[in-house]
Amino acid sequence: MTSAEKYVLAAYLVFLAAVLAYLVIIALKVGRLEQELGDLVRLARERRDG
């Protein structure tokens, strides 16, 4: 592999890494949203029952 090929590969990998990093961010966010929504559902149930 020539050095030019290495740098080209690196540039494309940076792009791929950014896409994957965004996936991680969104995964964390979905997890947090799920938890918050669960809290709110529980709160709403308590309201209705109590």
Give the footprint of other proteins on this chain (CB under 8 A). 2-5, 7-8, 10-12, 14-15, 18-19, 22, 26, 29, 33, 36-37, 40, 43-44, 47
Round to whole Å and give the CA distance between 47 and 40: 10
User: Closest approach of Cβ 42 to other proteins, in Å?
Assistant: 10
User: Closest approach of Cβ 49 to other proteins, in Å?
Assistant: 14
* Residue nearer to other proteins on the CB measure, 47 or 49: 47
How would you class 15 by CB atoms within 10 Å of its CB: exposed for 0-12, middle for 13-18, buried for 19 or more? exposed
